[in-house]
Amino acid sequence: MSRIFITGSADGLGQMVAKLLIADGHQVVLHARNEQRARDAKSAMPKAETVVVGDLMTIAATKEVASKVNELGDFDAIIHNAAIGYQEPQRINTADNLPHVFAVNSLAPFILTALIKRPKRLVYLSSALHRDGDASLRDLLWTERCWNGTQAYCDSKLHDVLLAFTVSRRWKDTLSNSLEPGWVATKMGGPNAPDDLSLAPKTQAWLAVSNDAKAKVTGSYFYHGKPREVHPMAKSAKVQDDLIAACERICGVQLPA
């Protein structure tokens, strides 16, 4: 039995993977951004161990989530699932004056990775749209570019792959991988999404707990349990390190060596 923490698990894909893991006998800690969603999540998944509450929209609140998770003890795996979607017509500034898509999709998983006690496995949800992300990393905070919600999402999903690959390169005792769940009919994906929803949560669950040799790898990117090509710059150590350095400057948190 493994113990897993899943961000953004009150609904959507996060809830689906949590239910899969709980049904298989694993110990799952959920995450919700507020108390009402936490109550709803626990009602939907009564066998979950507990729910950590915290909004990943701000640096301070994300640090608090990390602290709460550490208070619960060790985890075998963490699945970074929480995200804001690509249909965001307007830039919304957080309390830290950051674009909300960057704050939740890019910076929050960085902060949680840096501050939560290192698990055996890390799993980061990306998207096929990461291949359209801007690997130059110019204007991460959208202070010069005209806001484009789709591009901001693509950029953030590339950031998730870069983070996963950075961790796999720097932390030799942790298996760190990323994946795309497919374009599926969730709240984010919309009702007309063409991929099979039943397959969408399986790869992240497999990467988090499976003893299959194909799952016990690091620095890989998957789609439905099979390796898939990534953005051509995603494996660049320089691009990875540049993103980490930028995140460290923005939030004041250092990724441990």
Spatial neighbors of 239 by CB under 8 A, at least 6 apart, are 135, 137, 162, 233
As a whole number of angstroms, the distance between CA 251 and CA 63 comes to 10
End-to-end C-alpha distance for the chain, whole angstroms: 29
As a whole number of angstroms, the distance between CA 209 and CA 191 comes to 30
Helix (H, G, I), strand (E, B), or coil: what is residue 245?
helix
Helix (H, G, I), strand (E, B), or coil: what is residue 238?
helix
CA 212 to chain centre: 22
What is residue 123's DSSP assignment? E
Residue 195 has which token pair?
């991929």
Spatial neighbors of 182 by CB under 8 A, at least 6 apart, are 128, 193, 195, 196, 199, 200, 223, 224
Residue 245 has which token pair?
């350095």
Strands 226-227 and 221-223: antiparallel
As a whole number of angstroms, the distance between CA 130 and CA 155 comes to 6
As a whole number of angstroms, the distance between CA 116 and CA 174 comes to 13
Residues labelled as active-site residues: 153, 157
Sign for the pseudo-dihedral over CA of 160, 25, 43, 16: positive
